[in-house]
Amino acid sequence: MLGDGLLVLFGAPEPTPEHALLAVRAALRMAALLPELNETWPLRDQRPLRVGIGIHSGPLMDGVIGRGRRVEYTVIGDVVNTASRVEAYTKEVLARLIEGDVDEGRPGATILITEATYVQVKDQVQVDSDIPPCQAKGKAEPVPVHRVLGLKEGTLPGQ
């Protein structure tokens, strides 16, 4: 259980060569639907819904745990923890966007990708690389991040 969070896997349990691009495209589709969702959001007049998405790529352990009726598929590893830390960092970045410290390209939605993901999608994705690195708990070094602005021209949404 993640509270109000959502963990989505691309490339597991079966490897998918373009898992990083699939994840970024899914995040962009979620962000694109946010204005429509905010139109029907019950608290839209008091506070619009904001979304933070953190994407990280790397090896992880996956499998089924439990027994009887309490069986579930799960993933563990540093890559999972790092993705969670980057997602949490989106709140800080979004606050800076709202304050006007950074040019806001997608109101209410912040998509951050780590360097490990960026190297896999850099030819297809436009990013803002001027985001300060994430000071992730449990990491000796800050985690470099890039804010996703959209797909580059010529990259078809379904590719």
* CATH class for the region spanning 19-151: alpha beta
Mean pLDDT of 140-159: 82
Q: What is the pLDDT of residues 6-15, one digit of tens each?
A: 788 888 788 8
Task: State how far the Cα of 44 lies from the Cα of 40, in Å rounded to an integer.
Answer: 7
- Residue 103 pLDDT class (50, 70, 90 cuts): very low
Both ends of the chain: CA-CA distance in Å? 32
Q: Which of 82, 83, 106 is nearest to 94 (CA)?
A: 106
Domain residue extents for the chain: 19-151
Task: State how far the Cα of 36 lies from the Cα of 54, in Å rounded to an integer.
Answer: 22
Task: State how far the Cα of 109 lies from the Cα of 98, in Å rounded to an integer.
Answer: 11
Q: What is the pLDDT of residues 11-41, one digit of tens each?
A: 878 888 899 999 999 999 999 988 888 888 7
Rounded-to-10 torsion of CA 99, 133, 48, 27: 140
Task: State how far the Cα of 68 lies from the Cα of 121, in Å rounded to an integer.
Answer: 41
Q: What is the pLDDT of residues 108-125, one digit of tens each?
A: 789 999 999 999 999 999
* Average pLDDT in the chain: 84
